[in-house]
Structure 1
């Protein structure tokens, strides 16, 4: 009915959605106007659309993605709707946990007077080591799960060969990972020297620093090492390594110890 039509400005005030938002939700297939003037493009809505507008406003207020709102509002199964909302709740919880982690990291930086690292860079010679390894192509999003699965695969291969781990596991970054690119990483677990079927990784002179804390707060260690290498006129001589000195299943995230090594050209 024509009398039921409400101009977009009035509907905006009724729904508490801006005119810009209403145009956007129309473009996204969420809330189309009941009528659009073919000459002027002016839009009218029906009063009955206010309920859908309110649902959209509430769901966007809890940061549900537009695509998922479209799917949710197109679903009339209460159980599936509940599952979709519960899945979003878990995403919000994970996001909150990450923000709390960043807050703790910031508090530690404040306690250190702004110093990124408390450890000093050391230069040392690391010996050749026989390793069981696997090379994976990963992104920043997939690396956590890939590393966990990859180390499990390596442990299985070591057991099948009748060998046993002989040192701390480590990871070699053959490529730089960033938000827009995948790269290759090599997962390694040392085994006794000369174990058949496994390769030997050559020794190297390395610049080293030990990071204490969660794995995802390790970036400052790389910053310190690369800065030290540049300031001291040394040259990188291979991909960096992360050696995991203790077990995340036995210590908390703040107690994790990770040694970061950058191979550099040999001693002067």
Structure 2
């Protein structure tokens, strides 16, 4: 797995933001992603990249997470039920995970090791971009998820 430092531009994300128990994350994604896509369509907005999830804070039991899509620019008014957020511009460390979602902890561990080895810290928000997922192939070994940590 290749770990890269990259500078990213700010991006606007439109999605559903909720506090979700860790055990319910998969069900939340399955429910939220189609709902966000439908609301974007009704609002005349087009996704400007792959679906993603933004993790805002975590406690031992729950994540505050937004599931949605990047869009080219913020809408004049947020579509019903959706939050409009901005991912920050700046330096990041990131890696592309290859395989099923239940093996993502391997990538998180590698990124954590990189942060320790380079004496770097990351902010309160991080995200996953679903480059290839179950909507593209049923073969979970072909799924690709970019994990991104903005650096402090």
Q: Above 0.5 in TM-score?
A: yes
Structure 2 equivalent of residue 133 of structure 1: 15
Task: From 104, 108, 113, give the equivalent of 1:222.
Answer: 108
The Cα offsets for residues 47-90 of structure 1, whole Å up to 9 and x where unpaired, read as xxxxxxxxxxxxxxxxxxxxxxxxxxxxxxxxxxxxxxxxxxxx
Q: Structure 1 pair 156/215, CA: closer, same or farther in 2 (3 Å)?
A: same
Q: Which has the higher helix share?
A: 1
The Cα offsets for residues 87-142 of structure 1, whole Å up to 9 and x where unpaired, read as xxxxxxxxxxxxxxxxxxxxxxxxxxxxxxxx121000111112212212212321
Q: Which runs of 5+ in 1 are unaligned?
A: 1-118
Task: From 171, 174, 183, give the equivalent of 2:63.
Answer: 183
Whole-Å separation in 2 of the counterparts to 1:135 and 1:219 = 22
Is 1:170 the equivalent of 2:61? no
Whole-Å separation in 2 of the counterparts to 1:226 and 1:210 = 14
Once the two structures are superposed, the pairs formed by residues 32-181 of structure 1 within 5 Å of their partners are: 119-176=1-58, 181=61
What is the number of equivalent residue pairs in this alignment? Answer: 145
Once the two structures are superposed, the pairs formed by residues 193-204 of structure 1 within 5 Å of their partners are: 193-197=73-77, 198-204=84-90
Q: Does the 8 Å contact 1:173/1:241 carry over to 2?
A: yes
Larger relative contact order (Cα-Cα within 8 Å, sequence gap ≥ 6): 2
Q: Structure 1 pair 259/177, CA: closer, same or farther in 2 (3 Å)?
A: farther
Q: Which runs of 5+ in 2 are unaligned?
A: 78-83
Is 1:255 the equivalent of 2:135? no
**Matched position secondary structure for 2:58:** coil
Q: TM-score, normalised by structure 2?
A: 0.86
Q: Does the 8 Å contact 1:238/1:262 carry over to 2?
A: no
Structure 2 equivalent of residue 40 of structure 1: none
Superposition CA RMSD, Å: 1.7
Shift of the alpha carbon at 1:221? 0.6
Higher Cα radius of gyration: 1
Q: TM-score, normalised by structure 1?
A: 0.51
Shift of the alpha carbon at 1:246? 1.4
Whole-Å separation in 2 of the counterparts to 1:133 and 1:227 = 30
The Cα offsets for residues 155-211 of structure 1, whole Å up to 9 and x where unpaired, read as 122112111111111111223365xx1221111301122433344333131100111
